[in-house]
Amino acid sequence: MKPANSILASFGTTVFEVMTRLAMEHQTINLGQGFPDQDGPDSIKAMVDRATKEGPNQYPPMLGISELRQAVAAHGKRFYDLDVDWQTQVMVTSGATEALAASILALIEPGDEAVVFEPLYDSYVPMLRRAGAEVKLVRLQPPRWELPRDELAAAFSDKTKLILINTPMNPTSKVFDGEELSFIAGLIRQYDTYAICDEVYEHLIFDGVKHLPLITLPGMADRAIRIGSAGKTFSMTSWKVGYLTAAPNLMSLIAKAHQFLVFTTPSNLQRAVAHGLDNEQAWYTNLAVELQAKRDMLRNALTEIGFEVMPCGATYFMNADYRPLGFAGGDVDFCRHVTVEAGVTVLPVSALYATPDVDHLVRFCFCKKDEVLEGALDRLRKFFGA
């Protein structure tokens, strides 16, 4: 048989799926894959039921229902003073993952270069390469994951088509600040490129820090694509409703990719997310307060057990170095070890690098009920004799 596509064939099954399967097999407490163990607000679940009953349950408009597109535009204005025309600048997608794929397909021409930070969400590199891009990786270093400005500048060239930025960032929990984003914006202007901004954790930021969308910076309105996710904002990760905001000429191109990928997104879910964005602001802004308390609890407990915990300013992920506990193997071995022997599953951070290097960090997902986190910590305490 002729070989199929070699780029996709070269990637394995995503680490999230692998670790969750392993967790199920060993019936562990799963702090690997990122998903909350409590659903979002009841009012939006009720709206899904209502919308399904009322119908129509037929193809909604390709760009998304007007209620949701207006709600996304109003949300952008409310939080970031972002003025956009919902009709020409907002599109609904099947999750942020589809928004990323459609944006990449819309922009990349074979031979273009794309700049991406490592570690990274695992769909970026496969999709960029499949679209024909040469990926230029710029590595952030633990524990502070600071922007390596010289390396970043060196990664740009006349062939650079886009940079993909994830802030707040998975898995590092870093929030890019105004100075860092201004530096990046300067490079985008200098090299006449675009930015795909994965901002799915925009509402999950701690310690009073505010999210700053790159698209609001000078000169970025025509160059940045801002992507959000109802899965993250409303703790409904199975719904796969995303949304993007971009200048009209970019939006219409991305819409062409979207029309051939999925064409549209379930209308009952869209109505529910519109309701949520407009009416459940207290719910999604309180979520960060609850998560911050969980972060503090987890950080203290892991430190007591003997992990070296990295700073965590956002998202629901915390990274920790296990070497002080005396485990000599790599992070994949460590994750397998604690899954099988301690009954707790965590994620090897090396799996979120395109070219593995950092091999001593594991990621804990802490959007779980307190008793679940306590249960996992008890198992780890017993296992490590803490």
Select the residue interacting with ligand GLN from 7, 16, 327, 337 (CB under 6 A): 16
Contact 36, 237 (CB under 8 A): yes
- Which of 240, 258, 299, 363 touches ligand PMP by CB under 6 A? 240
Q: Out of ligand PMP, ligand GLN, none, which partner does residue 240 contact, by CB within 5 to 8 A per kind?
A: ligand PMP
Q: Is 265 in the site for ligand PMP (CB under 6 A)?
A: no
Under the criterion CB under 6 A, does residue 170 sit at the interface with ligand PMP? yes
Q: Residue 201 or 206: which CB sits closer to ligand GLN? A: 201
Residue 68 backbone dihedrals phi, psi, to 5 degrees: -75, -40
Residue among 212, 218, 211 nearest 188 (CA): 218
Cite the DSSP H helix spans in the chain: 6-9, 15-26, 42-54, 66-80, 86-89, 95-107, 124-130, 149-155, 178-190, 230-233, 248-261, 267-279, 281-305, 331-337, 370-384
- Regarding 237 and contact with ligand PMP (CB under 6 A), the answer is yes
Closest distance of CB 236 from ligand PMP, Å: 9
Q: Which is nearer to ligand GLN, 185 or 287 (CB)?
A: 287
Please choose which of ligand PMP, ligand GLN, none residue 95 contacts, taking the beta carbon within 5 to 8 angstroms, the exact cut-off set by kind: ligand PMP
CA atoms of 338 and 69, how far apart (whole Å): 44
103-122: contacts with ligand PMP (CB under 6 A): 121
Closer Cβ to ligand PMP, 240 or 299, answer by number: 240
HSE value, Cβ hemisphere, 13 Å, CA-based, for 122: 18
Q: How far apart are alpha carbons 63 and 246 in whole angstroms? A: 13
Of the candidate residues 44, 63, 71, 96, the single one contacting ligand PMP (CB under 6 A): 96
- Note whether 327 binds ligand GLN by CB under 6 A: no
The residue at minimum Cβ distance from ligand GLN is 34
92 near ligand PMP, rule: CB under 6 A = no
Q: Please answer whether residues 67 and 267 qualify as being in contact, where contact means their C-beta atoms are separated by less than 8 angstroms.
A: no
∠ at Cα 124 (349, 102), nearest 5°? 150
What Cα–Cα distance (Å) separates residue 28 from each residue in 14, 92, 127, 358? 19, 36, 32, 25
The verdict on 168 binding ligand PMP (CB under 6 A) reads: no
Q: Which of 30, 33, 166, 270 binds ligand GLN (CB under 6 A)?
A: 33
228 Rama sector, left if φ>0, alpha if ψ -120 to 50, beta otherwise = beta
**How many residues are there in the chain?**
386
| Nearest approach, Cβ of residue 172 and ligand GLN (Å) | 11
| Partner from ligand PMP, ligand GLN, none contacting 266, C-beta within 5 to 8 A by type | none
Minimum CB–partner distance for residue 199 and ligand PMP (Å)? 9
Among 30, 34, 47, 358, binds ligand GLN (CB under 6 A): 34
Q: Which of 36, 60, 242, 276 binds ligand PMP (CB under 6 A)?
A: 242
Smallest distance from ligand GLN to CB 96, Å: 9
Of 30, 167, 229, 233, the one binding ligand PMP by CB under 6 A: 229
The answer to the question of residue 36 lying near ligand PMP (CB under 6 A) is no
No. of helices (H) and no. of strands (E), the chain: 15, 13
And the tokens for 261?
Answer: 């990928």
Coil, strand, or helix at residue 320? Answer: strand
Q: Which does 33 bind (CB under 5 to 8 A by kind): ligand GLN, ligand PMP, none?
A: ligand GLN
Binding mask 146-185 for ligand GLN (x = CB under 6 A): ------------------------x---------------
Q: What is the dihedral of CA 57, 73, 47, 31, to 10 degrees?
A: 100
CA gap 295, 317 in Å, rounded? 9
CA dist 19 and 33 (Å) reads 7
3-state secondary structure of 146: coil
Kindly list the residues in this chain that would bind ligand GLN in the complex (CB under 6 A).
Answer: 14, 16, 33-34, 170
Kindly list the residues in this chain that would bind ligand PMP in the complex (CB under 6 A).
Answer: 34, 95-97, 121, 166, 170, 198, 200, 229, 231, 237, 240, 242
